[in-house]
Amino acid sequence: MNFKNKNVLITGASRGIGKATAIAFAEKGASVGINYRSNTEEAEKTLVELTGEEHRLFQYDVSKKEDTKALVEDFVAHYGQLDVLVNNAGISIFHKIDEVDFDHWTNAWEDTFKTNLFAVSNMCYWGAKAMMKTGGGNIVNISSRGAFRGEPTKPAYGASKAALNAMSQSLAKALAPHKIYIGVVAPGFTETEMAAVTLTPAERENLLRESPFKRMAQPKEVAHAVLFLASEGAAYSSGTIIDVNGASYLRS
């Protein structure tokens, strides 16, 4: 796969899966825009790890709808056009129904949907508008295994990712005439900060037993699927959801 002369914007790319994806695109020749929300120190560390010179940081909070417009405008003003958009930024909040009060419950649903679904739909809107002006592009949205198998301790997370899948497939149909192709990657547990903070040692032990690989995914294994869906030969795979979960949850 070759991304030479391609301009790639990745949300939530200062660490974890987004960072591994930024590194992988840069290794294949792309110019990468690293979006992050707050941790500038971490984002700057990521920037210097990328191969090549044409990469840049974009600090915007994609859960704010005005920031999604400003982010895409800023990116296009700098690079001239947007070829690949990866909607990776996501959050995960515990809200076990038999443990939390109603305020916690409603806040968890609202905050989760703002980042995991509305931010993605808004980024798809502005990203697609930019791509329509230049003849097309690729969008890859990061979902989760939780969309399919349920998330009992964070149901809003599972629901937001299931909605992201449905939205992505609807947009794959709507945007194909514009030569804009949309893919989804649904990782299982992956060795990132999100997984580290959300797992108790007992849960970690359990989940290692779930996969016949007896390990979690590495961020670069998720990045590999993202690059495939963003590559030129993958146009006819638009609307696809690729599982990267080590055969821990096999759906028919």
Ligand X SMILES: NC(=O)c1ccc[n+]([C@@H]2O[C@H](COP(=O)([O-])OP(=O)(O)OC[C@H]3O[C@@H](n4cnc5c(N)ncnc54)[C@H](OP(=O)(O)O)[C@@H]3O)[C@@H](O)[C@H]2O)c1
Q: Which residues sit at the interface with ligand X, rule CB under 6 A?
A: 11-18, 35-39, 61-63, 88-91, 115, 142, 144, 187, 189-190, 192-195
Beta strands in the chain (DSSP E): 7-10, 31-36, 56-59, 84-87, 137-142, 180-187, 241-244
Q: CA 252, CA 246: separation in Å to the nearest integer?
A: 15
Q: Tell me how far, at minimum, the Cβ of 177 lies from ligand X, in Å.
A: 28
Pick between residue 42 and residue 54 the one whose CB is nearest to ligand X.
42
| Strands, sheet with 241-244, edge to edge from the N-terminal-most edge strand | 56-59, 31-36, 7-10, 84-87, 137-142, 180-187, 241-244
Pick between residue 6 and residue 154 the one whose CB is nearest to ligand X.
154
Yes or no: say if 178 and 131 are a contact pair by the CB < 8 Å rule.
yes
Q: Tell me how far, at minimum, the Cβ of 93 lies from ligand X, in Å.
A: 11
Give CA separation, 141 vs 12, 58, 185, in Å: 12, 18, 7
Yes or no: say if 142 and 90 are a contact pair by the CB < 8 Å rule.
yes
Tokens encoding 7:
């301009």
Pick between residue 179 and residue 191 the one whose CB is nearest to ligand X.
191
Pick between residue 20 and residue 76 the one whose CB is nearest to ligand X.
20
- Residues annotated as catalytic are 157
Q: Tell me how far, at minimum, the Cβ of 94 lies from ligand X, in Å.
A: 14
Q: Tell me how far, at minimum, the Cβ of 19 lies from ligand X, in Å.
A: 7
